[in-house]
Structure 1
Amino acid sequence: MKALVEHIAKSLVDYPDAVQVEEAHEERTTVLRLSVHPDDMGKVIGKQGRTAKAIRSVLYAANKQHERVRLDIAD
């Protein structure tokens, strides 16, 4: 899951070297925290959050373990 989010984010931004994805486990939820260069924040979020929602949809569809997954975009 972490690699998927990283790959999608790196293909969207101008500064792919600044993309970082941290994975943490909270109870029964896997939390992925995405951080990007400040200039790329708008590209990852998109207008009205559409790009972020699309990334989350792909993440949920790729979830084969059927565990809870949450994507946080850190600023």
Structure 2
Amino acid sequence: MLADALEHLVSGIVDNPEDVEVTSRSMRRGQLLEVRVNPDDLGRVIGRNGRTARALRSVISALSTRGPVRVDVIDTDRD
């Protein structure tokens, strides 16, 4: 559910929503959500001084009902 919500939020921000991929893993300290986007959209997801990424983390943390959630934006260079 959290992965779907994050994917929906990120898809609304980027120019290439079909390239958005969110994977979820359970870690010892909670859940880890990894976001992969088109390399051209990386700046949009991170935002100026990381503001957009911080806002996404805040929203997902607020939605979480099962403890801490970590959101990582993965830099994928697909050249």
1:62 to 2:63 alignment: yes
Corresponding residue of 1:9 = 10
Q: Residues 12-63 of structure 1: CA distance to partner in whole angstroms, max 9, x if unpaired?
A: 0000000000000111410000000000000000000000000000011111
Gap regions ≥5 residues in structure 2? none
Matched to 2:73, the amino acid is I
**Correspondence 1:1-75 to 2 at 5 A:** 1-65=2-66, 67-75=67-75
Matched to 1:71, the amino acid is V
Paired positions, count: 74
Gap regions ≥5 residues in structure 1? none
Alpha-carbon distance between aligned partners in 2 of 1:64 and 1:24, rounded to the nearest angstrom = 16
- Provide TM-score, normalisation by structure 1: 0.95
What RMSD in Å do the two structures reach over aligned CA positions? 0.7
Alpha-carbon distance between aligned partners in 1 of 2:24 and 2:43, rounded to the nearest angstrom = 22
- State the secondary structure of the residue aligned to 1:64: coil
